[in-house]
Structure 1
Amino acid sequence: MFSLFLDVRIEGSSFALNLNINTIAILQARTSSSRLPGKVLLPIIGKPMILHQLDRVIRCSSIDKLVVATSVDSSDDKLANTIQSAGFCVFRGDLNDVLKRFADCISLYGGSTIVRLTGDCPLHDPAIIDEILEAYYLSPCNYLSNSSDPSNLSVPDGFDVEVFDSESLNLASINAHLPSEREHVTPWMRRSDTPCQAQHYIHKNPVPFYRLTVDDHLDFELVSKIISELYPTNPNFDLKSIIDFLSKNPTLANTNINTLRNEGYVRSLSND
């Protein structure tokens, strides 16, 4: 299903592919993270962190195409080469204007439904993504996410999924002007004064909240330990296995308890 091997750069090009794609997952990633530079390439039991994530996302049954969207900056050359060498598709676009990167990627590949993922969530469970996609197709909304209401989360941080249609992406690309809206792709879609109908999704089986995204060294320490413990006996371990492991290891689970959630987005708001 994910057989196309391609590294595409779109700097002033109008070239387009027609692959008859309906649902495309775009996983954004770069190596120039300010808090933990190169985190997506840090090794966990001998494999770069981002490849752990891609090997999990690729098992989604509802996705037609999986693309890693990184930048054309030379700092991301190694990342692009690593992903390509593993057989995954790479798109390279604007470094700082991530909204433009997404819009350019969709202009190239097409796709009416877009799943937005970020490269700091290596523990993604494909069943979680499939569940949200199923709910999205049954709802009247243009945007659905399990992370848009921080006061009503039903999965740990690090299992964030956003689903929206290509029309909403195009509208955001044209109308979003704030730096935070360009960097974080979807804030404009979630605003109440836009044509987009945005909804928050609560999972059927809510689980305890843990911080399982990777922004700093403490995050990486926790996620590395989880993968190192669970992967050798079951490479396809699911969210339930993670929760069971953490409930038995509460000290480990609290490794990064004091880290601010969505710190990058909060910081970008100060630039607006």
Structure 2
Amino acid sequence: MRIVAIIQARMGSTRLPGKVMKTLGDRTVLGHVIMRCQAIESVTHVIVATSTLGEDDAICIEAEKYGVSHYRGSQRNVLDRYYYAAKEMEADLILRITSDCPLLDPLISEAVIQDFLAEICDYSSSGLSNTFPRGLDTEIFTFAALEKSHREATVEYEREHVTPYIYQHPEIFTFRTYSNQKDESRFRLTLDTPQDWELIRKIYEVLYKGEIFYWEDVYRVLQENPEWPLINAEVQQKKLGE
């Protein structure tokens, strides 16, 4: 079974332009995300899906640096981009990863995959449970579900955010929710603002020694430095359609 991690990436972030090419230690944010996806045991292929805009040439060059494929498609219609990237890779299952998650934990992502494989449905997510920190999100779905979404989704945010058409239509799709043992959603570990960057940079300065570290390591550091999570505690996540 081909389980393909598709990393969506672009240079044109509105709140922190060029964020995926900012440097943490010896590699870019995108480089860390690629490396972490490659460390997910069940993932057979990794591909970066970006736009055809000239500014995103840098994304393609970075993907090639790590020996992974890239697909270029619509800037706004990310669902379209995902569909053709998955089709090109002949994916059976797709893992959706965003490039603004340099703290993605390969062990948690693997657990989501294994939970999904234990009782295959159309879609599963660690994000819908609201028990993990934002930034550790992993979604997995079948190519058939992606194809149906690509064919039928019409609302703009459904095509910009890839999976809402699936998880907002339980009458059409079957799905599971992967939950953490305790609620740790108070932590924000995604990269979208200067405040997020300040926190993630601090975490990397302490933990990164050239190898992947995990959520349990991050959690320990945040417990030792309780003022750190306050850096981006007031940041509001954009809602669908914004």
Give TM-score scaled by structure 1 length: 0.85
Is 1:79 aligned to 2:59, yes or no? Answer: yes
1:190 matched residue in structure 2:
167
The SS at the match of 2:232 is: coil
Give CA-to-partner distance per residue, 1:26-70, whole Å, 9 cap, x none: 010100111111000011124211111211221111111011111
Q: After superposition, give the CA deviation of every residue in 1:176-197 in whole Å (9 maximum; x if it has no partner).
A: 0011000000000012365211
Equivalent residue, structure 1, for 2:134: 157
CA contact (8 A) 1:141 1:198 kept: yes
Unaligned 5+ segments in structure 2 are none
1:94 Cα deviation from its structure 2 partner: 1.2
2:3 to 17, 20, 23: 23
1:235 aligns with 2:211: yes
Q: How many residues in Structure 1 have an aligned counterpart in Structure 2? A: 241
- Counterpart of 1:7 in structure 2 is none
2:108 aligned partner:
128
Partner of 1:223: 200
- SS in structure 2 of the partner of residue 255 of structure 1: helix
Say which SS state the counterpart of residue 34 (structure 1) adopts. coil
Aligned-pair distance for 1:269?
2.3
Asked whether the equivalents of residues 208 and 243 of structure 1 are also in contact (C-alpha less than 8 Å), the reply is no
Q: Secondary structure at the match of 1:250?
A: coil
Letter in 1 for 2:133: P
Q: Answer yes or no: is the 8 Å Cα contact 1:24–1:65 preserved in 2.
A: yes
Q: How many Å separate the matches in 1 of 2:142 and 2:199? A: 34
Match of 1:11 in 2: none
Contact 2:34 2:66 in 1 (8 A): no
- Is the contact between residue 116 and residue 176 of structure 2 (CA under 8 Å) also seen in structure 1? no
Kept in 1, the 8 Å contact 2:37–2:43? The answer is: no
Deviations 1:196-222 (A, max 9, x none): 11222113x436330000000000110
> 2:228 aligns to what?
252
* TM-score in terms of structure 2 length: 0.95
Match of 1:35 among 1, 11, 15: 15
Alignment RMSD (CA, Å): 1.5
Residue equivalent to 1:18: none
Instruction: Report the Cα offset of residue 103 of structure 1.
Output: 0.7
Secondary structure of the residue aligned to 1:87 is coil
Asked if structure 2 preserves the Cα contact closer than 8 Å seen for 1:129 and 1:161, the reply is yes
Which shifted more, 192-201 or 119-128?
192-201
In 1: Cα distance, 2:226 partner to 2:30 partner: 26
Q: Which protein has the larger Cα radius of gyration, Structure 1 or Structure 2?
A: 1
Q: In the alignment, is the contact (CA less than 8 A) between 1:188 and 1:194 conserved in 2?
A: no
- Which runs of no fewer than 5 residues in structure 1 stay unpaired? 1-20
| Residue 119 of structure 1, aligned match among 77, 99, 103 | 99
Single out whichever of 207-216 and 187-196 deviates more from structure 2: 187-196
Distance 1:129 1:99 in 2: 21
Deviations 1:221-266 (A, max 9, x none): 101111111012x6221110000000110111211000112x1xx2
User: Alpha carbons of 1:193 and 1:52: their partners in 2 closer, same or farther (altered >3 Å)?
Assistant: closer
- Percent identical pairs in the alignment equals 29
After superposition, give the CA deviation of every residue in 1:104-162 in whole Å (9 maximum; x if it has no partner).
Answer: 1122111111100001101111101110000001124210001124xxx2221100000
**Which letter maps to 2:39?**
R
| Counterpart check, 1:269 vs 2:241 | yes
Give how far 1:101 is off.
Answer: 0.3
Alpha-carbon separation, structure 2, partners of 1:253 and 1:46: 24
1:45 aligns with 2:25: yes
Instruction: Measure, in 2, the Cα distance between the counterparts of 1:24 and 1:65.
Output: 5
Provide, for residues 48-107 of structure 1, a one-character-per-residue CA deviation record: whole Å limited to 9, x for no partner.
111112112211111110111111111101121122123222111111100000111122
